[in-house]
Amino acid sequence: MAPIKTQAIVLKKHNFRETSVILSLYTEKTGKIKGVLKGVRVEKSKVPPLTFTPGAFISASIYIKRTSELNLISSPSLLQFYDMPSKKNLTGWRLILNLVDLFTPEKEIDREIFHLLKNTGEILTDCQNPVVIFIAFKLKFIKILGYGIELSRCVVCRSEQPTYLFSGKLGGLICNSCKSRDTKRVNISKRVINIMQHLEKIDIKRCPVIKSIPVEILRKINFYSNITLNYHSEIDKIWWTNEKNIL
């Protein structure tokens, strides 16, 4: 099969044998793929290490293997490496890469995710509010995946109410009349709903204009996002532990 030339962002890297690496990439043309990049961990390699470092924006040829989980990656070239201005920006970027790696299916093309990821990397190289960018990314990512989050009315009966509860299982707000549909629903305030709506609607490129949001509200939004993701995932581990490093 002929190779597919595509742009990609490196999500994860593992050393493989003596000279190669296994990369998880999110590509524009093939979605998320896992593949082997051979012979790059040698002294005379013409491929700079930044090219296969997590977070790098690259161009590469992908040979899709129909009968194997591992594809073949060749001819990579570095288009951009997102150099983060602070430890918090770098932490946010790494957490975002991990989210995409965890929650996107293999070989399912979604250019919206690709461009959201690419734009977020660019923004994080020059912003003062990486936590806001991280939370905004997560809300938009959840929406693209199709898990919600409904923030304007009850997700069950579709009625508009002055107060709501939140259901990760149902993917959004539920009214008091529908609360029995999820025994694990949690309280949510009107202020938090308003901020979530704003972050969901604003273009990710405009998020740097948001100067600050109280960290307690950001933590609550992150909690609501995580219980939504967790309900829809089949991940049997606590995947959000490292988020304490940014929140």
Q: What are 89-146's pLDDT values in tens digits?
A: 999 999 999 999 999 999 999 999 999 999 999 999 999 999 999 999 999 999 999 9
1-81 is classed in which CATH architecture? Beta Barrel (2.40)
The whole-chain average pLDDT of the chain stands at 95
Q: What are 45-77's pLDDT values in tens digits?
A: 999 999 999 999 999 999 998 888 899 999 999
**CATH 1.20.1440.120 in the chain, residues?**
86-247
H or E element: which one contains 183?
none
**CATH 2.40.50.140 in the chain, residues?**
1-81
- Indicate the pTM of the whole model: 0.95
Angle at alpha carbon of residue 216, lines to 210 and 219, rounded to 5°: 85
Q: How far apart are CA 11 and CA 189, in angstroms?
A: 35
Helix, coil or strand: residue 32: strand
CATH number of 86-247: 1.20.1440.120
DSSP 42: S
Name every residue whose Cβ is closer than 8 Å to that of residue 218 and which is 6 or more positions away in sequence: 131, 132, 135, 247
